[in-house]
């Protein structure tokens, strides 16, 4: 069950301002998505930074003290990974197909409450959006 870091997704209440800061201010290259949002992925060395409109993130807590980031881990094959984690006593949510995103996901929280997303690619049903 090798988990690999795919990206750190920052949940934003002001997508346009976050895009300007990371893409234009810091000059990070856009790998996926556009300034229109609701998602964009930016090159950051061997991984990437994702910006995502908070209200579009399933399972994220809203508000100024809610979730601010999600650690996104590739967990192929997801079903076997979830079974192994549960055997180890890790509480993890049920897998959900996000065909519009082209992924199958499951969410969990670490002991401090940080949100993690485990995913595996699947065949999308339409244009990919994260």
**Whole domain around residue 55: which residue ranges?**
4-121
Establish if 76 belongs to a structural domain. Answer: yes
100 versus 121: the higher-pLDDT residue is 121
Establish if 48 belongs to a structural domain. Answer: yes
Please count the structural domains in the chain: 1
Residues of the chain with pLDDT > 70, as a percent, come to 92
Question: Band of the pLDDT at 66, cuts 50, 70, 90?
Answer: confident
Q: Which residues have a Cβ under 8 Å from the Cβ of 115 and sit 6 or more positions away?
A: 59, 60, 67, 69, 70, 71, 107, 108, 109
Establish if 130 belongs to a structural domain. Answer: no
pLDDT, position 125: 72
| Summary mean pLDDT of the chain | 88
pTM: 0.75
Establish if 103 belongs to a structural domain. Answer: yes
Identify the CATH number of the domain in which residue 16 sits: 3.10.180.10
Question: Band of the pLDDT at 129, cuts 50, 70, 90?
Answer: very low
Establish if 37 belongs to a structural domain. Answer: yes
pLDDT digits (tens, 9 = 90+) for 1-40: 789 998 999 988 899 999 999 999 989 999 999 999 999 9
Establish if 111 belongs to a structural domain. Answer: yes
Q: Report the pLDDT averaged over residues 69-76.
A: 92
């Amino acid at each position: 069950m090798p988990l690999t870091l795919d990206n750190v997704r920052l949940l934003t209440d002001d997508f346009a301002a976050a895009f300007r800061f990371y893409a234009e201010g810091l000059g990070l290259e856009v790998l996926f998505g556009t300034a229109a949002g609701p998602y964009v992925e930016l090159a950051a060395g061997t991984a990437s930074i994702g910006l995502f409109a908070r209200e579009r993130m399933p399972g994220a807590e809203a508000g100024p003290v809610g979730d601010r980031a999600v650690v996104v881990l590739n967990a192929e094959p997801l079903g076997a990974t979830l079974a192994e984690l549960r055997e180890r006593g890790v509480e993890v949510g049920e897998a959900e197909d996000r065909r519009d995103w082209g992924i199958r996901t499951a969410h969990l929280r670490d002991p401090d409450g940080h949100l993690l997303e485990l995913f595996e690619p699947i065949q999308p049903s339409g244009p990919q959006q994260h």
